[in-house]
Amino acid sequence: MITSRTMPEELRILILEDNPADAELAQRELEKAGLSFVASVVATRWEFHQQLDAFDVNEPLDGCRVAYMRLSSLKGH
Q: What is the pLDDT of residues 48-58, one digit of tens each?
A: 888 887 887 77
pLDDT digits (tens, 9 = 90+) for 8-41: 578 888 888 899 998 999 899 889 988 899 999 9
Distance CA 8, CA 18 (A): 27
Which domain covers residue 29, as residue numbers?
Answer: 11-75
Q: Are 72 and 54 in contact (CB under 8 A)?
A: no
How many domains would you assign to the chain? 1
In a domain, 15, yes or no: yes
In a domain, 63, yes or no: yes
In a domain, 42, yes or no: yes
In a domain, 28, yes or no: yes
